[in-house]
Structure 1
């Protein structure tokens, strides 16, 4: 039975427990159309609460019927019902950040969670896999790094760090250029794609095209069972966050910086002579 929106919103009052958290957790298991809508909602909640169903369909490139089914899977009667709960979750978040005590508690919680995300990412990284990726990157003639949105910022950090480690790395944020580059790569090149959700369409297509062209492909994502991971020869996992990762937040950056530092440290190391 579909629950009343106000009852559901009341039950999902805190960070990590509302409709946005549900969508984030569900993305890897959703059909591609529903996943596109879910990613758009998670990344643009403040816009979505003002959208009509037609608006969201156009911006997320998802059919209206798929969006309605997604809302029903989340426990709502339809898109309007879902928007009410979404608006309430955003209002609660803003309210929690408003008072001095609440804000102090929230900031401490955020710092703890960011530190925890780095620790959990460190625990999740398989040293043998990272060493293999580092070795392949060290011998690549060219390394192209792509990401969209906040992941584009991370892509630039990755390329900067790898470049300073002595590798020929380049960040690409323009999707048209990324597709042109990916199709022109070959066995001597490497492609590294970054997407927290692992379903960002442009990022998935970049890695798919790069692999089809013969390049060595690496995915940096929180979702091991994602379309992006399926097109990667190697996966560098990032830990999931228990704090909001949407609406302009850049809290995905610290754990990604850790992955970049580890990779650069190993890729930049010169093998000892026998």
Structure 2
């Protein structure tokens, strides 16, 4: 049975992604900053007949928490086939480049960029034990420098999300370098935008969470001849999914 770990999976897109992977026969570990919420998510999934799931406490901003989560994971499995870095924050208001505080930048990067790097640096040991390891870094088209600087882009107005956009652009660059570093291995590593989705993150505005999760799951399940080091947003580009950095 394949094993997947999803950060921030106690609700929203992460929770739905866990559900869809469970339905495909995975054993899923739900990473949750607050363990009680992770346990509650597990109870909901089990009530739906999806039993191959467990919750692990994980605060991606805390190195000790990441290490503890890894040690707990190692007690339950010798390999990890899929890692989905879903945990993220929008940085809070004010959202503009000049008005946002330095603390906003620090906190947002600590979760959206440094948190991903922390988890991968530790969890890669178990990923290396998989014959076809996959990493999906959940990103956003708002992190595309090309799209964000184009006045003709429909979401150009979201340039005001300076802190969040900057953090996701940095995450995208990290994804490029990680994929390059592991280019001669079985790893496939991609950045995926789930699209503007109706969750707490967006004040429950946008598309359906099921579709957002399907976009993530698709790249978690790519075959060995599939892409790596790419940026996908099927909401922005329905034909190929590929979008510019």
Which structure's relative contact order is higher, taking Cα pairs within 8 Å and 6+ residues apart? Answer: 1
Query: Could you say which structure has the larger radius of gyration?
Result: 1
Give TM class, smaller chain. 0.3 to 0.5
Alignment TM-score, normalising by the size of structure 1: 0.34
